[in-house]
Structure 1
């Protein structure tokens, strides 16, 4: 049963299910200063916007000082009259849960359950995303002056669209897919796209390129948050040929609406704020920093400015369509928003896989923000027998097999709050011995954006993106569980004595172990 978050007399589950696009999501949050802030003070999208938001609500692996805070919409963008920029919509787990109509502890279960209610998208004929049409064939067309693509730092290779959802179709099978990628603006009608190894749309591109053909795609920005969350699932949870838009349909209990693009043979998200139409060109590559020479790309989720890629595929833009007064959505690369986007699908995938193999063993999973939602998982296990000492480690192995990019797993008992890093470190300090409770699996595929995963760091690694994976078993041995019992305090509601303090774990029912 889905947990319901209450705000006064309002049922947020019902409100969340009414969300169909970004504007509905903003409307849900607009009157709550914890979740939404708007500014009409002019701001420059070139490094200044991200520099401000790092103090407001970026969080994640952003260099300190930073914090979690409200989403922020800037309505006066230097050099742009008709476009506002929204950042940080998903940069807080509680806010994501609210937008999905549930609570922080239950949001991963709600996302996992969406697979059982999956709904395929439908095609409509009229779409808000096409209220305004800008054709690239027009002599004055220039995407650089049309849309304010931000830079995160002064060292970025180029301006980037950081929340652009690519939609493409396999030229051989006709199956469509959606993924989010690093998109750099390279010219008036050219973008470069970084595809991490194994991404499905890149496989579509390679098939088209092998046939000497361009691949039509659309880039969709400013969307219902459920679409972004669903799009971030990966194989094997969503195998090749699975359209992740079905997950968003399951989350909203209503199919995502698509519309035919204006200039290419592909679909777009009908209620997007902005759609870029175009083709990935066969055999054409550009250096990511060809216009800047910085040598850096942009800050990615591990918290580092990785090197600019020397050879990336090119998208030739054929049109940009928008709603009237469009909202461009972006993120601060290594911030908490990435943890939500990548981490919640990671948690849901692990829960589905472990529940299937070891029913009832795993109580909770948190894809920790220190790993950007990808590299580090904390798993809370219920031990009921001595056999579960081994089952807990088996669950960690299943997690590593379920999510290829996962690097480290920490196992804890049900009396440890997976969302509280101090509590997790306490368990690692008092319930773990390095010589018996650390399991290392060497030479396994990981992720190319982790700078430690390369032969220059460890000569035993055969290639970039290969790593050692580690399980840290910080659970008490079952036969010694009495010796590891925590001191128990009286269960007293503190609110009558401290009415002005905030106790969110009491208000939303997200106590440890629930």
Structure 2
């Protein structure tokens, strides 16, 4: 199992992946355009195992582009030394206590520096992914900001559209900690909020940045069992990984707003929703021969797994703490955060499965469909799940509807944005099975193990 226990960088990760899982690493030597062609290549490989894609040559740019690092659930699980079935438990085990970052004076990210009039975002092969996109986007940018009063550090994601040589259009519509910091800067009368944008770093840092928390540097260190090494920016007090590929240093302006978008969002639809913020870029630093990382947007596996798995681990924790009968949970990629499959052991407590579903919907407002199954069903095997729905549920008594509540703003099926109804499909074994002979065919365990050894 590939387990990156040492906090190295993206380059080491890619090399380890290439050596240990060559089928998951595809190098494209043919030159491609930054407009649409990388998306088209990803679309083709999405049906062929969703490997990491390394584009050696992009027309008009000196930097190679890497995409789809988070495109596989198994690959993401290995990043923290786990497998698909134990990801949430491993995440919770690793993150019980944070690991403080280590501060250093310099690092590879300082090898090349551009200031003032030399700052030019056009050196970056930012992509236009789809025809409907409002422009070229930096999608693998982790935004680092400090609370303007307390200094609390937060890492998060925002839409970043290239608008000029030193200007990005920004949308902070997730309304997380960055939004809170920005609005506090406005309340304090500050003209801007200092930030940095990290492009290309160790994968666990990307996973940490996807959580709804603060001190993500400590969280990333916990995931890797080693401190993240940080270096101070050149033009502000923000700290960034010393071995990042590229860092943009800038300011989100508190009194300037411009149009941004539209963009292809994770539900698989184009959205024009935007907070219309502007980021002025004061400095660019990068490694020698940097690699430009991008995250495939829309409802790609990469977008949904990176954005979902870390937050879902926290939902799993809440469920297990309240209802020990919960066994496993899966937010399938095709459900775009709106569907969850939950397995529950209800042998000794009929009805506990409905309570678990209600708690899940309360803990994660994005979910509008919960499919409940017994613990003999693998929640990651969707054929098994659909078989359970088909053979263990009756529509008149197993589909439970819940009235309109607040929900996901990006769900296009809503009549009123941000408000949704919900449904629970109870595909657990019906109560009358306890007194009936309803059996599933089985094989002797020793025979199964023997055959598995034969065909290893």
Give runs of aligned pairs for residues 212-251 of structure 1, distance below 5 A.
Answer: 212-213=189-190, 214-234=192-212, 238=213, 242-251=214-223
Give runs of aligned pairs for residues 99-110 of structure 1, distance below 5 A.
Answer: 99-110=79-90
Pair 419,51 (structure 1): closer, same or farther in 2 beyond 3 Å: same
Could you tell me which residue of structure 2 aligns to residue 487 of structure 1?
Answer: 441
User: In the TM superposition, what is the alpha-carbon distance from 1:218 to its structure 2 partner?
Assistant: 0.6
Could you tell me which residue of structure 2 aligns to residue 294 of structure 1?
Answer: none
Does the CA contact (< 8 Å) of 2:361 and 2:367 recur in 1?
yes
Which residue, 244, 254, 261 being the options, matches 2:233? Answer: 261
Q: In structure 2, how many angstroms separate the alpha carbons of the residues matched to 1:346 and 1:125?
A: 33
Does the CA contact (< 8 Å) of 1:476 and 1:484 recur in 2?
no
Pair 77,357 (structure 1): closer, same or farther in 2 beyond 3 Å: same
* 1:94 aligned counterpart, secondary structure: helix
Pair 209,484 (structure 1): closer, same or farther in 2 beyond 3 Å: farther
Which residue, 198, 202, 205 being the options, matches 2:179? Answer: 202
Q: In structure 2, how many angstroms separate the alpha carbons of the residues matched to 1:53 and 1:466?
A: 33
Superposed CA deviations along residues 116-172 of structure 1, whole A, max 9, x for unmatched, are 13223232211222221111x12x53202x101011112210101111111111112
Which residue, 166, 185, 188 being the options, matches 1:189? Answer: 166
Could you tell me which residue of structure 1 aligns to residue 34 of structure 2?
Answer: 45
Could you tell me which residue of structure 1 aligns to residue 343 of structure 2?
Answer: 380
Q: In structure 2, how many angstroms separate the alpha carbons of the residues matched to 1:339 and 1:442?
A: 26
Q: In structure 2, how many angstroms separate the alpha carbons of the residues matched to 1:172 and 1:76?
A: 44
Q: In structure 2, how many angstroms separate the alpha carbons of the residues matched to 1:281 and 1:466?
A: 31
Does the CA contact (< 8 Å) of 2:132 and 2:263 recur in 1?
yes
Are 1:288 and 2:260 an aligned pair?
Answer: yes
Pair 246,453 (structure 1): closer, same or farther in 2 beyond 3 Å: farther
Does the CA contact (< 8 Å) of 2:113 and 2:284 recur in 1?
yes
Pick the structure with more helix per residue.
2
Does the CA contact (< 8 Å) of 2:170 and 2:279 recur in 1?
yes
Superposed CA deviations along residues 46-87 of structure 1, whole A, max 9, x for unmatched, are 111111111113xxxxxxxx4532101111111112x11100
User: Structure 2: 5+ residue runs without aligned partners?
Assistant: none
Q: In structure 1, how many angstroms separate the alpha carbons of the residues matched to 2:184 and 2:453?
A: 65
User: In the TM superposition, what is the alpha-carbon distance from 1:496 to its structure 2 partner?
Assistant: 6.2
Could you tell me which residue of structure 2 aligns to residue 468 of structure 1?
Answer: 421
Which residue, 385, 401, 404 being the options, matches 1:424? Answer: 385
* 2:85 aligned counterpart, secondary structure: coil
Superposed CA deviations along residues 350-379 of structure 1, whole A, max 9, x for unmatched, are 2211121122x111111110123x222111
Give runs of aligned pairs for residues 12-411 of structure 1, distance below 5 A.
Answer: 12-13=2-3, 16-31=4-19, 32-57=21-46, 66-81=47-62, 83-135=63-115, 137-138=116-117, 140-144=118-122, 146-213=123-190, 214-234=192-212, 238=213, 242-289=214-261, 297-307=262-272, 309=274, 312-333=276-297, 334-359=299-324, 361-372=325-336, 374-385=337-348, 387=349, 389-411=350-372
User: In the TM superposition, what is the alpha-carbon distance from 1:486 to its structure 2 partner?
Assistant: 2.1
Q: In structure 2, how many angstroms separate the alpha carbons of the residues matched to 1:445 and 1:328?
A: 37
Q: In structure 2, how many angstroms separate the alpha carbons of the residues matched to 1:97 and 1:453?
A: 33
Q: In structure 1, how many angstroms separate the alpha carbons of the residues matched to 2:174 and 2:68?
A: 27
Does the CA contact (< 8 Å) of 1:122 and 1:255 recur in 2?
yes
Q: In structure 1, how many angstroms separate the alpha carbons of the residues matched to 2:152 and 2:135?
A: 32
Does the CA contact (< 8 Å) of 2:146 and 2:154 recur in 1?
yes
Pair 245,390 (structure 1): closer, same or farther in 2 beyond 3 Å: farther
User: In the TM superposition, what is the alpha-carbon distance from 1:445 to its structure 2 partner?
Assistant: 2.1
Does the CA contact (< 8 Å) of 2:68 and 2:294 recur in 1?
yes
Q: In structure 1, how many angstroms separate the alpha carbons of the residues matched to 2:48 and 2:120?
A: 36
* 2:321 aligned counterpart, secondary structure: helix
Q: In structure 1, how many angstroms separate the alpha carbons of the residues matched to 2:67 and 2:162?
A: 19
Superposed CA deviations along residues 400-425 of structure 1, whole A, max 9, x for unmatched, are 22223222221111121211222111
* 1:472 aligned counterpart, secondary structure: strand
Q: CA RMSD in A?
A: 1.9
* 2:313 aligned counterpart, secondary structure: helix
Q: In structure 1, how many angstroms separate the alpha carbons of the residues matched to 2:340 and 2:196?
A: 33
Q: In structure 2, how many angstroms separate the alpha carbons of the residues matched to 1:54 and 1:33?
A: 20
Does the CA contact (< 8 Å) of 1:17 and 1:253 recur in 2?
yes
Q: In structure 1, how many angstroms separate the alpha carbons of the residues matched to 2:113 and 2:373?
A: 53
Superposed CA deviations along residues 444-473 of structure 1, whole A, max 9, x for unmatched, are 222211112342xxxxxxxx2221122221
* 1:443 aligned counterpart, secondary structure: strand
